[in-house]
């Protein structure tokens, strides 16, 4: 892959703005006025995971939080602030937790292969792997093992969402957004909806009770 220079990035920005203004002269005035995105996307930091491109959405439609291996961490003040703001102020209607096959963070959790802080960050996923070891180790290829753990991780992170005080408050008040678990296949560009039965998880006993 040939990477653009910094100058080319800025030039691309100018030509993109010019194109937008040709078709919609008021585009940026409207964009600057407010944001009312219906979606919160919790995704992996991986450079191949800009959900807007895969879903043909525009600026203003998806509020975003990304970290390595798309984790919902109950101690991450960054994530919790995003979640609180998305729910309390933006009133998003949907939360999408989207992982991906071939995820380096998942691989690190499965194989303990990195050298550095990532190992600490993905440790909860390593714990998940140890819980599901029989199922994952029974798969015949490394790729299948990494991809299955990516799916199980999405399920675990959606369950974690139901452990947040922020979401539990909206569930009690009857105005919670719908939660979706997706996995994107980088080899096809297609998104798999995990069809999670989230309504069954709404009353999961919080870990702190």
Minimal distance in Å, beta carbon 86 to Co ion? 21
* Residue 159-188 contact track with Co ion, rule CB under 5 A, x = bound: ------------------------------
Minimal distance in Å, beta carbon 53 to Co ion? 16
CB proximity list for 40: less than 8 A, separation 6 or greater: 62, 63, 64, 65, 82, 83, 86, 87, 90, 92, 94, 95, 96, 177
Active site residue 100: yes
User: Could you say whether residue 125 binds Co ion (CB under 5 A)?
Assistant: no
User: Could you say whether residue 136 binds Co ion (CB under 5 A)?
Assistant: no
CB proximity list for 168: less than 8 A, separation 6 or greater: 162, 206
Residue with smaller CB distance to Co ion, 46 or 181:
46
Tokens of 152: 């199980």
Tokens of 153: 């991780």
User: Could you say whether residue 109 binds Co ion (CB under 5 A)?
Assistant: no
Minimal distance in Å, beta carbon 70 to Co ion? 7
Helices (runs of H) and strands (runs of E) counted in the chain: 10, 5
Cα Rg, the chain, nearest whole Å: 19
User: Could you say whether residue 98 binds Co ion (CB under 5 A)?
Assistant: no
Which of these segments, 39-47, 51-59, 154-162, 193-201, binds Co ion (CB under 5 A)? Answer: 39-47
Question: Kindly report the CA angle at 166 between 97 and 160, in degrees rounded to 5?
Answer: 40
Active site residue 98: no
Active site residue 103: yes
User: Could you say whether residue 103 binds Co ion (CB under 5 A)?
Assistant: yes
Residue with smaller CB distance to Co ion, 27 or 73:
73
Identify the residue among 39, 41, 46, 149 touching Co ion (CB under 5 A): 46
Quick check: 130 and 144 in contact, CB under 8 A?
A: no
Active site residue 46: yes
Q: Which of 3, 14, 26, 46 is catalytic?
A: 46
Full strand arrangement of the beta sheet holding 62-67:
62-67, 39-44, 94-100, 178-185, 190-193
Active site residue 44: yes
Containing 118, the helix (H) or strand (E) segment is helix 117-121
Applying CB under 5 A, the residues found at the interface with Co ion are 44, 46, 103, 105
Catalytically annotated residues? 44, 46, 48, 100, 103
């Amino acid at each position: 892959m040939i990477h653009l220079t910094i100058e080319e990035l800025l030039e691309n920005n100018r030509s993109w703005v010019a194109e937008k203004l040709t078709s919609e002269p008021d585009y940026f005035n409207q964009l600057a006025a407010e944001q009312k995105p219906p979606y919160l996307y919790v995704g992996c930091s991986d450079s191949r995971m800009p959900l807007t491109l895969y879903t043909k959405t525009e600026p203003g439609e998806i509020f975003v939080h990304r970290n390595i291996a798309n984790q919902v961490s109950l101690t991450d003040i960054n994530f919790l602030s995003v979640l609180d703001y998305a729910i309390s102020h933006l009133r998003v209607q949907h939360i999408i937790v989207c992982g991906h096959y071939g995820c380096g963070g998942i691989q690190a959790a499965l194989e303990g292969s990195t050298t550095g802080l990532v190992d600490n960050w993905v440790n909860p996923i390593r714990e998940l792997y140890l819980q599901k070891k029989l199922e994952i180790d029974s798969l015949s290829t490394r790729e299948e093992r990494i991809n299955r753990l990516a799916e199980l991780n999405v399920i675990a992170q959606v369950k974690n969402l139901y452990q947040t005080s922020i979401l539990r408050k909206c569930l009690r008040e009857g105005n919670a957004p719908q939660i979706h678990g997706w996995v994107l296949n980088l080899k096809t560009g297609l998104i798999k909806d995990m069809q999670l039965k989230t309504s069954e998880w709404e009353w999961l006993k919080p870990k702190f009770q």
